[in-house]
Structures are given as structure tokens and as C-alpha cells.
Amino acid sequence: MPLDHRLTPEHEELRRTVEQFAHDVVAPAIGDLYERHEFPYGIVAEMGRMGLFGLPFPEEYGGMGGDFLALGIALEELARVDSSVAITLEAGVSLGAMPLYRFGTEEQKRRWLPKLCSGEMLGAFGLTEPEGGSDAGGTRTTAVRDEAAGEWVINGSKCFITNAGTDITGLVTVTAVTGRTPEGKPLISSIIIPSGTPGFTVAPAYSKVGWNASDTRELAFDGVRVPLANLVGEEGRGYAQFLRILDEGRIAISALATGLAQGCVDESVAYARQRHAFGRPIGANQSIQFKIADMEMRAHMARVGWRDAASRLVLGEPFKKQAALAKLYSSTVAVDNARDATQIHGGYGFMNEYPVARMWRDSKILEIGEGTSEVQRMLIARELGLTG
């Protein structure tokens, strides 16, 4: 059914507030943090005070009582300026807190969500493994019941986990094999591991191409023991749970990618107006005008895509296909716009002091994280009834 993507007054007020915050607070500070590979603790704390980490959660758990569309709006506006800050929010909400809200017990929600919603604490989601990225069903991390002690004993490792090793990380929810079906297929469950649990090792931060002011780590579990009550949702339903979480997360990543694409337009328009060559602004050249017009077209259509998927989610309608479409298209658009913005800037686009250089470095991961472009095509084909 056709959906109205115009923002409500409340959503528009949020958009303007985050836009102003991104330009006034994030933009002046993020360049130095990015080059030093430093996590933006001060910015994150201010985002917490603004309520951004609690946007889609009910007030009874410390949230703002908003919806997923509100989260996407905030992510887009942040990513117009910087993606490291945006992915910190996206992962903290979609991957850190959302599994507990969707599938956790009432005790788990009341224990963890208030601090996650306030930004005082970050949560992470441990899914990807060194030998299991797109093939998440190939999980090798195990969790074995010790009934006498009332504990899970967890062994294994995870990689590429966002927000896993900051000073304010409080927990990681990990997927682990907790049994087998009669046919021998793994039963995957989700289990909370609080930071600092003995046997839980957080590796040094990765040296990355982009997202350099965000936190990404490898995790290892060697005989980690946590209470049986740390199980999130039903035992053996972890696979189905994370599929739902990833469907929602793809909408959030699409909003982030749209923001990066729009940021490339913003920077290119400004540069084309002030940069002169052969006696006039380069923006007077039709070749530059057409390139920027194409960039704006892509960003606009990406926005339509993620808002359509988010609106369906909010209305309780099926949204899996729309989320995959939005994620596939917007991530492609982000890469295309970052490339074109760099070209418009010429040699300056290759200098890290210019935001488009950061956007170029940050764009490629959007075609990989939370489901590669190939996985999105596979999901779309399946939703169209194509199997095998």
C-alpha cells in the first residue's frame, strides 16, 4: 500500500535538532578524533543526554517513547556529517539494546535497558565469527549448561563487533550453539555476557580503513561462565531472533547510508560554489552540475526506500523485502556518491582534512556490514518466490 513519508511535526523537530547537533558539536571535533582513532566519548555522552539512544524504546524502560522512524531520522542526520558517530548510535540501539527489548525477560529489560537508553552504557551484539560471516548458521561458539552451578559455560570467538571494547561497554549479547536437533543441526541461542566476566577477553581495536572513531573488536570466550538466566528469549531460537534484529538493523544502516550519500551532496555543492577554475566557479560547469544532480537523485530515492521500510515496521506490516531493498540500494548509493564527491573535489578530495575523504573511506563497509549486498539480493529473490 502507498505510504506517506512526510514527517510529523515531532519527527521534523527531531530532525532539525539532530542536524544542528551534528553541525555544531560533531563536525568541529570529529576530524581530529577520526585521525587519532579515538572513540568520541564526549559526543556520545551528549547524545545520551539528548535521548538518542532511547529513541525507539518505551518510557518505562528509560526510553523516549518514539519509534524506528525516529531512530532512522537521527542516524541520517548524524551520518551527513560523520559515520563513526552514527554507527555508534546504530549499533548501540539496533544491536546492543534491541535484542533485550524484543526478546528479553522483564528482569533483563529493567536491569539493562535504562542505562542503555541513557547512553551511560553501550551494548554490543556478538554474531560474526572468523569463519562465519554471511553464513551465520555456521556458528562455532558453544554454550554448555552446567546445571549444578546454574551457569552457561561459553567457549569460542567473535569478530568485527562494534561497541564491544569501550570504557562504557556493559554487555555483549552473543549467539552460541546450545544443542543439536535430532537431525544434527545446531540450535543457536542468545546469551548476555557482562563486560569484565572472567574468561571474556576483548582484543585491541582493529586498524580499519574507515569508521576510525568507532570501536570495533574481536572477542574471545574461554570457559566464560554466566547465569542460566542470561539466556535471551527461548533456547534454540537465537537464529530466528537475530534474523529479526538484522531485518530491523538493515533499515537503520540504510538511513545511515542515506545520510552519508546526502552529506556527499552537501559538501560537493559547497565546494562547487567556492572553488574557481578558469575564471568561474566549477559549479557553473554542466558536467559538475549533472554529477551533483545525479548524486541528489540517488540520496533522495535512498531516503524514500528506508522510510518506506521503517513505516512498514512501525505499522506492523511485513518489511523484510523492503529492508533488504533499502539496504542494498542505499549502500550502493553511498559508495557512488562518495566516489563522485571525491572526484569533484579533485586533489583536495584525497586529503583527510576534507570531509569527503572520510566519507569515501567510510562508505565501502556499508556494502558489507549487517548483510553484504549479495545477501540482500538473495533475500530479495527469496521474497519474490525464487528458491534454490
Q: What is the pLDDT of residues 80-112, one digit of tens each?
A: 999 999 999 999 999 999 999 999 999 999 999
77 is an active site residue: no
115 and 128 together in one domain: no
CB-facing half-sphere around the CA of 263: CA atoms within 13 A: 32
Q: Are 216 and 323 within one domain?
A: no
For the cut 90, the answer to whether the pLDDT of residue 388 exceeds it is no
Report the sign of the C-alpha dihedral through residues 254, 256, 258, 260, in that order: negative
Confidence of residue 136 (pLDDT cuts 50, 70, 90): low
Residue 4: the pLDDT is 60
Average confidence score pLDDT of the chain: 95
Residue 1 lies in a domain: no
| 3-class secondary-structure state, position 355 | helix
Digit-coded pLDDT (tens) for 207-231: 999 999 999 999 999 999 999 999 9
User: Which residue in this structure is represented by grid cell 553484504?
Assistant: 372
**Which are the contacts of 132, defined by CB distance < 8 A and separation ≥ 6?**
138, 139, 140
How many domains, the chain? 3
Q: Residue 98 maps to which CATH number? A: 1.10.540.10
Complete DSSP assignment for 291-331? HHHHHHHHHHHHHHHHHHHHHHHHHT---HHHHHHHHHHHH
Q: Which range of residues forms the domain containing residue 139?
A: 124-235
From 122, 145, 173, give the residue that closes a domain: 122
Q: Rounded CA gap, 93 and 109, in Å?
A: 14
Please determine, for residue 2, whether its predicted confidence score (pLDDT) is greater than 50.
no
Residue 379 and residue 246 share a domain: yes
Residues in the chain: 388
Q: Which residues pair with 217 in a beta bridge?
A: 161
pLDDT at 6: 77
User: What CATH number is attached to the domain comprising 214?
Assistant: 2.40.110.10
| Set 77, 218, 267, 370: catalytic member | 370
Predicted confidence (pLDDT) at residue 72 exceeds the cutoff of 60: yes
pTM for this one? 0.95
